[in-house]
Amino acid sequence: MTVDYYSLLSNAVAGKDAAARDQIYKDALGLIARSHITREAAASHRAALEDAVRRIEDEIAAEEASSAAAISETLSTGGKWKPYAIGAGAVAVVIALAAVGYVFVLAKGPAIVAANVKTPSPNAQRVREDVVMADLKPGVDGGSSGEGLPFALQRQVVFYRTTVAPGSIVVDRENRFLYLIDSNNSARRYGIGIAPECLKGGSLSRVMNKLEWPDWRSSGANTKDADALLAATGRPGSPLGARALLLDKPGLLIHGTNSPKTIGHLVASGCIRLVNDDVEDLYRRVSLETRVVFAS
C-alpha cells in the first residue's frame, strides 16, 4: 500500500510554525507505531513519512531563504519597497482565507485528513454501486478473516481528524469504511459491505441492542430451504455472521457475514456487514447507546 504522506502532511502543516509542525510529525509517527501492521510494513511507512518530512522542511527552508534574500536585495538597492509589502500582505490574506475555509469544512462534519487509499472517481463509484456482489448460500462458511481482502479494507488504525466524539462510530457508506473514533486524531477503520436499502436514510443513530450469533431467516424461504436456514443459525455459515449491533431504526444494523469477499461492495442482503473477526472486535469495543454517524 502506498500512502502519499507528502500531500497529507503538506496540508496538515500549512501555515504552522516549527513547533506545531514538529508535533504533527510526531503524532503521525505515533499512529504508525500503534497500528496493527507487520514490523516490515511499519518500517516502510516510517521511512516514507520521514522522507516526506524532509521534503517539506527543505521546501519551507528554501522559501524562507528566498524571501529573506528578496527583502535584503530590495532594502540594499534602495528600490521601492511598498509594492513588495502590498504583495506580501495580499499573500497573507489569501493564506488566512484558505485556513478559515479549511476549518469551516472540518466543522461541517467528519473529515478524513489522512486516507490510506485514493478516493475513486465518481464514474468508478457509480460502476461499483451498480454491481451487487452475490452472497454464499446460508450454511456455507466463507471464512471469518479479512486477510484475503485488499489492505485498505483490512482492520487498521488510521489518522482521522473529525469533530465526532471519541467512542462514536462513523459509517462512510460511499467509500465502504466504518470508523470507531479514538482520541488523538485517530480511528480504528474496518472495511464494510452495504446493502442498497442502507445506502440512504438518516445521518444519526444509536446502538440499541447487541446480539451474539443472531438468528437469520429469509422472508422468501420455503419448506425446501428450511433445513439450510436452520443450519445457518448460530454458526459461521450464518449470513448475519457472528455478531450484530441493532440500531434505533427498523432494519438498520451492523453485522457479520459468511461471505468475506463481498466486503467493499454493494451486497444483496443484510445492511452494513463486516467480516466476522472485525464485527467481533467492534462488538467488544462499543456499548449500548453508542452514537452512529452516517457520512455520505
Q: In CATH, what number is assigned to the domain containing residue 182?
A: 2.40.440.10
Report yes or no on 159 lying in a domain: yes
- CA 14 distance to own-chain centroid: 22
Beta bridge partners of 247: 207
- CA 92 distance to own-chain centroid: 33
Could you tell me if 249 and 137 lie in one domain?
yes
Could you tell me if 151 and 63 lie in one domain?
no
Report yes or no on 117 lying in a domain: no
What pLDDT is attached to residue 218?
58
pLDDT confidence of 115, banded at 50, 70, 90?
A: very low
Taking 70 as the threshold, does the pLDDT of residue 220 lie above it? no
Could you tell me if 184 and 240 lie in one domain?
yes
pLDDT confidence of 80, banded at 50, 70, 90?
A: low
| pTM for the predicted model, two decimal places | 0.57
For residues 105 and 236, which has the higher predicted lDDT (pLDDT)? 236
Q: Please, is 133 exposed, middle or buried when counting C-beta atoms within 10 Å of its C-beta (0-12, 13-18, 19+)? A: middle
Grid coordinates of 76: 540594499
Tell the residue number behind the cell numbers 503538506, with chain if given: 10
Taking 80 as the threshold, does the pLDDT of residue 123 lie above it? no
Report yes or no on 63 lying in a domain: yes
Give the end of a domain, one of 107, 132, 157: 107
What pLDDT is attached to residue 95?
61
Could you tell me if 192 and 154 lie in one domain?
yes
Kindly report the CA angle at 130 between 125 and 133, in degrees rounded to 5?
Answer: 105
Report yes or no on 183 lying in a domain: yes
What pLDDT is attached to residue 30?
81
pLDDT confidence of 58, banded at 50, 70, 90?
A: confident
Give the end of a domain, one of 82, 107, 132: 107
Sheet containing strand 243-247, strands side by side: 132-133, 266-267, 193-194, 272-273, 253-255, 243-247, 204-212, 291-295, 169-172, 177-181, 186-191, 156-159
Report yes or no on 54 lying in a domain: yes
Report yes or no on 114 lying in a domain: no
Report yes or no on 112 lying in a domain: no
What pLDDT is attached to residue 107?
46
For residues 26 and 93, which has the higher predicted lDDT (pLDDT)? 26
Taking 50 as the threshold, does the pLDDT of residue 223 lie above it? no
Q: Tell me the three state secondary structure of residue 16.
A: coil
Could you tell me if 136 and 274 lie in one domain?
yes
Strands, DSSP E only, in the chain?
132-133, 156-159, 169-172, 177-181, 186-191, 193-194, 204-212, 243-247, 253-255, 266-267, 272-273, 291-295
Could you tell me if 47 and 142 lie in one domain?
no
What pLDDT is attached to residue 8?
82
Could you tell me if 34 and 178 lie in one domain?
no
What pLDDT is attached to residue 62?
79
Considering just the CA atoms, what is the radius of gyration of the chain in Å? 24
Could you tell me if 88 and 135 lie in one domain?
no
Could you tell me if 22 and 94 lie in one domain?
yes
In angstroms, the CA 111 to CA 293 distance is 12
Could you tell me if 96 and 220 lie in one domain?
no
In angstroms, the CA 59 to CA 96 distance is 20
Half-sphere exposure (CA, 13 Å, Cβ side) for 25? 22
For residues 144 and 16, which has the higher predicted lDDT (pLDDT)? 144
Give the end of a domain, one of 107, 135, 151: 107
Say which residues have a Cβ less than 8 Å from residue 289's Cβ, sequence separation at least 6.
206, 207, 208
Which domain does 237 fall in, by range? 122-295
Cβ-contact 177, 191 below 8 angstroms: yes
pLDDT confidence of 116, banded at 50, 70, 90?
A: very low
User: Which of 14-18, 147-151, 184-188, 254-258 has the weakest average pLDDT?
Assistant: 14-18
Could you tell me if 188 and 252 lie in one domain?
yes
What pLDDT is attached to residue 277?
97
Taking 80 as the threshold, does the pLDDT of residue 185 lie above it? yes
What pLDDT is attached to residue 130?
59
CB atoms within 10 A of CB 49: 20
What pLDDT is attached to residue 69?
62
Could you tell me if 134 and 74 lie in one domain?
no
Number of structural domains found in the chain = 2
Report yes or no on 74 lying in a domain: yes
Instruction: Tell me the average pLDDT across 144-160.
Output: 94
In angstroms, the CA 284 to CA 280 distance is 6
Taking 60 as the threshold, does the pLDDT of residue 136 lie above it? yes
Cβ-contact 25, 9 below 8 angstroms: yes
Arithmetic mean of pLDDT over the chain:
79
In angstroms, the CA 283 to CA 255 distance is 9
Taking 70 as the threshold, does the pLDDT of residue 53 lie above it? yes
